[in-house]
Chain A
């Protein structure tokens, strides 16, 4: 039961990763690429973390995974914002 649930979550996470990567490769400009990449990857990572947390031997290790997920969420959201703002400033300058 737990194995099936965690496989399902991990597969769903992988789906969002693939969608985000396709977005990165196919979308026309930087903003939509950033949008695809950060949104899809953060959700994908969340599902992946949830799937792996179910496999952990105890609650502490599972909580560590959640902390890693939160740290990556904050870091990727901030860097996406910084990249987008930099690009926008460069656009308005030229």
Chain B
């Protein structure tokens, strides 16, 4: 394909990103906003793919568009239900409308300031020669990292601390979610057709998650994308009204949720005990250790995301606690 037609495609992509973002923000109907936001996420994933960042594109499509959209729709559904039950007075509505306008304008101003700042930075970037010292450092040490995908090498080896802390953030988030109390009631059992879809979609999603986890070592993929895909299986089961949505019982669930951070720390301290630096893998073992950590991280991420979608302590957990 020649560069002119690609330029046209990129231009269309840019226009649709901006107009979808605007439409999502300007929409009065919250449900419409959420659906536009999901479309925005998908087009953004395409843009990442065009920027040759397939790892980010995968994460954006799975988490940004898919799971965030599902979470927002679930929150909206819940909000509608409580709003219908309580029935707010008109004065309350007026204050909240005023507040919404203030919030909307402050966010708009902040975003505009951010856009100006980024634009200013972008203009100045072109004045300097490309600084690829970091990229070169990664490429030179890739052989020692145990994996051949530079993104995984950075996330799980060179900058493993960052990923450890990201997992700690997820663990903190799930503690907050559990503090909300028991999960919302599930949905009604699905009809024949959706149930049929669930029956083959869930195994396919599990298989895809395993593939993404494994392929992360040498191609785009990894624990976050795999975890999001695995969580999608849980979301589908929940939407189909299943009682069992793949989350284990209380004690096991707690272990799984802590497994991402736990496995990281275990490996880190074990390496300390053998006289190496914290998370400084020996090159011969690096590949296996990264896979071990990523497997635990995938399970933890999936369990966290499903817990977030359920919106509280899953039912099986509370039942087990009562027993």
Contacts of B194 in A (CB 8 A): 78, 81-82
User: Which residues from chain A contact B193 at a C-beta distance below 8 Å?
Assistant: 78, 81-82
B117 at the interface (CB under 8 A from A): no
Closest A residue, CB atoms, query B196: A78
In the bound complex, CA of A25 to CA of B191 (Å): 29
A81 to B197, CA, bound (A): 12
- 8 Å CB interface, B143-196 against A: 191, 193-194
CB distance from B293 to the nearest CB of A (A): 30
A18 CB, min distance to chain B CBs, angstroms = 15
Interface residues on A, range: under 10
Report the minimum CB–CB distance from B20 to chain A (whole Å): 16
Find chain B residues with CB under 8 A from A74 CB.
197
Main secondary structure of the interface of B (DSSP, over half): helix
CA distance A78 to B196 in the complex (A): 9
Q: In whole angstroms, what is the CA distance A45 to B118 when docked?
A: 38
Cβ-closest chain A residue relative to B198: A78
Q: Give min CB distance, B36 to chain A, whole Å.
A: 15
CA distance A78 to B191 in the complex (A): 11
Interface size class, chain B: under 10
Contact partners of B191 in chain A: CB under 8 A: 85
Chain A 57-94 near chain B by CB (<8 Å), digits 1 or 0: 00000000000000000110010011001000000000
Question: What's the minimum C-beta distance from A81 to chain B, rounded to whole angstroms?
Answer: 5
Contact string against A for B residues 191-216, beta-carbon threshold 8 Å, 1 for contact and 0 otherwise: 10110010000000000000000000
Q: How far is the CB of A75 from chain B (nearest CB, A)?
A: 8
Nearest CB on A from B301, distance (A): 23
Q: Name the distance in Å between B29's Cβ and chain A's nearest Cβ.
A: 16
Smallest CB-CB separation from A85: which chain B residue? B191
A76 to B197, CA, bound (A): 11
Give A82 to B197 CA distance when docked, in angstroms. 12
Query: Which residue on chain A has the smallest CB distance to residue B239?
Result: A82
Tell me the minimal C-beta distance from A56 to chain B in angstroms: 14
- Which B residues lie within 8 Å of A85 (CB)? 191
Give the shortest distance, in Å, between A16 (CB) and chain B (any CB): 20
**In chain B, what residue has the closest Cβ to A67?**
B204
| Nearest CB of chain A from residue B190's CB, rounded to whole Å | 8
Q: Which residues of B contact A81 (CB under 8 A)?
A: 193-194
User: For residue A82, which residues in chain B have a CB less than 8 angstroms away from its CB?
Assistant: 193-194
Docked complex Cα distance between A81 and B192 (Å): 11
B197 partner residues in chain A, CB cutoff 8 A:
74-75, 78
Least Cβ–Cβ distance between B76 and chain A, in angstroms: 15
Q: For chain A, residues 29 to 43, give those with C-beta under 8 angstroms from any C-beta of chain B.
A: none
Q: How far, in angstroms, from A85 to B192 measured CA to CA in the complex?
A: 12
The complex places the Cα of A78 from the Cα of B239 at a distance, in Å, of 13
Q: Measured between C-beta atoms, what is the minimum distance from B204 to chain A in Å?
A: 8
A80 nearest CB across to chain B (Å): 10
Nearest Cβ in chain B — how far from A22, in angstroms? 19
B81 to chain A, nearest CB (A): 15
Nearest residue, chain A, Cβ from B200: A74
B279-303 contacts to A, CB under 8 A, are: none
The docked-state distance in angstroms from the alpha carbon of A75 to that of B201 is: 9
Q: Which positions in A face B, CB cutoff 8 Å?
A: 74-75, 78, 81-82, 85
The 9 closest A-B pairs by CB, nearest first: A78-B197, A81-B193, A78-B193, A78-B194, A82-B194, A74-B197, A85-B191, A75-B197, A81-B194
Q: List 10 A-B contacts (CB under 8 A).
A: A74-B197, A75-B197, A78-B193, A78-B194, A78-B197, A81-B193, A81-B194, A82-B193, A82-B194, A85-B191
Query: Given A74-B197, A82-B194, A85-B191, list of 7 further CB < 8 A pairs?
Result: A75-B197, A78-B193, A78-B194, A78-B197, A81-B193, A81-B194, A82-B193
